[in-house]
Structure 1
Amino acid sequence: MNIKNLVRPTIKTLKPYSSARDEFQGSSDAMVFLDANENPFENGVNRYPDPKQGKLKSILSEIKGVSTNNMLLGNGSDEVLDLIFRAFCEPNQDNIITLPPTYGMYQVLARINNIENRKVPLTPQFQPNLEGIIRTASHKTKIIFLCSPNNPTGNSFSKGKIEKLLQSFHGLVVIDEAYIDFSNNESWINRLNELPNLIVTQTLSKAYGMAGIRLGICFASEEIISVLNKIKPPYNVNELTQQKAVEQLSIKNLAKNQIEAILKEREVLVAELQQISFVSKIYPTDANFVLVKIDDATKRYNQLIAKGIVIRNRTTQYGCENCLRFTVGTKNENETLISTLKSLE
Structure 2
Amino acid sequence: MSNFNIQSILRENIKNLTPYSSARHEYTGSASVFLDANENPYGSALKQNYNRYPDPFQEKLKTALSKIKGVPPYNTFIGNGSDEAIDILIRAFCRPGVDNIMVFPPTYGMYEVSANINDVEIKKVNLTPQYQLDLDSIADTIDQNTKIIFLCSPNNPTGNSIFREDIEIVLNNFNGIVVVDEAYINYSRQKSFIQELTEYGNLVVLQTLSKAWGLAGLRIGIAFASQEIIDIFNRIKPPYNVNQASQQLALDALTNIDQINQWIRETIDERSLLVKNLLKFDFIEHVYPSDANFILVRTNNPLKIYQHLNQMGIIVRDRSKVSLCEGCLRITIGTPEENNRLLEVLKEFK
TM-score, L = length of structure 2: 0.97
What is the distance in 2 between the residues matched to 1:101 and 1:342?
A: 29
Name the residue aligned to 2:19.
16
Name the residue aligned to 1:337.
342
Q: State the number of aligned residues.
A: 343
Q: CA deviation at 1:301?
A: 0.4
Q: Secondary structure at the match of 2:143?
A: coil
Name the residue aligned to 2:154.
149
**Deviation sequence 1:71-112 (CA, Å, 0-9, x none):** 000000101110111111111000010000000111100100
What is the distance in 1 between the residues matched to 2:82 and 2:275?
A: 28
Name the residue aligned to 1:239.
244
What is the distance in 2 between the residues matched to 1:33 and 1:271?
A: 60
TM-score, L = length of structure 1: 0.98
Matched, 1:275 2:276: no
Matched, 1:46 2:48: no
The correspondence for 1:6, drawn from 5, 9, 25, is 9
Letter in 1 for 2:268: L
Q: CA deviation at 1:251?
A: 2.0
Name the residue aligned to 2:38.
37
Q: Secondary structure at the match of 1:280?
A: strand
Q: CA deviation at 1:241?
A: 0.4
The correspondence for 1:177, drawn from 174, 182, 185, is 182
What is the distance in 2 between the residues matched to 1:5 and 1:121?
A: 28
Name the residue aligned to 1:304.
309
Instruction: Report matched runs for 1:89-128 at 5 Å.
Output: 89-128=94-133
Letter in 2 for 1:243: Q
What is the distance in 2 between the residues matched to 1:183 and 1:54?
A: 28
What is the distance in 1 between the residues matched to 2:37 and 2:214?
A: 33
Q: CA deviation at 1:226?
A: 0.6
Name the residue aligned to 2:298.
293
Q: CA deviation at 1:252?
A: 4.1
Q: Secondary structure at the match of 1:326?
A: strand
What is the distance in 2 between the residues matched to 1:324 and 1:209?
A: 23
Question: RMSD over aligned Cα, in angstroms?
Answer: 0.7
Letter in 2 for 1:343: E
**Deviation sequence 1:157-178 (CA, Å, 0-9, x none):** 0011000000001111001100
What is the distance in 1 between the residues matched to 2:256 and 2:107?
A: 33
The correspondence for 1:72, drawn from 66, 74, 77, is 77
Name the residue aligned to 1:189.
194
What is the distance in 2 between the residues matched to 1:306 and 1:187?
A: 39
Q: Secondary structure at the match of 2:167?
A: helix
Q: CA deviation at 1:42?
A: 2.3
**Deviation sequence 1:263-321 (CA, Å, 0-9, x none):** 11111111111111100111010000000100011111001101110000000111000
What is the distance in 2 between the residues matched to 1:160 and 1:247?
A: 37
What is the distance in 2 between the residues matched to 1:268 and 1:336?
A: 14
Q: CA deviation at 1:62?
A: 0.6
Q: 1:252 to 1:294 in 2, by over 3 A?
A: closer
Q: Secondary structure at the match of 1:253?
A: helix
Q: CA deviation at 1:224?
A: 0.5
Task: Give structure 2 stretches of 5+ with no counterpart.
Answer: none
Of residues 112-121 and 256-265 in structure 1, the stretch that sits farther from structure 2 once superposed is 256-265
The correspondence for 1:251, drawn from 256, 265, 277, is 256
The correspondence for 1:133, drawn from 135, 138, 150, is 138
Matched, 1:218 2:219: no
What is the distance in 1 between the residues matched to 2:280 and 2:67?
A: 43
**Deviation sequence 1:101-133 (CA, Å, 0-9, x none):** 000111100100000001000000000111111
Q: CA deviation at 1:27?
A: 2.1
- Identical pairs, percent: 52
**Deviation sequence 1:190-245 (CA, Å, 0-9, x none):** 00000000000011000000000000000000010011110000100000100110
Letter in 2 for 1:342: K
Q: CA deviation at 1:342?
A: 1.7
Letter in 2 for 1:32: V
Name the residue aligned to 1:168.
173
Letter in 2 for 1:26: G
Letter in 1 for 2:279: Q
What is the distance in 1 between the residues matched to 2:326 and 2:204?
A: 31
Matched, 1:204 2:221: no
Q: 1:252 to 1:142 in 2, by over 3 A?
A: closer
The correspondence for 1:227, drawn from 232, 245, 249, is 232
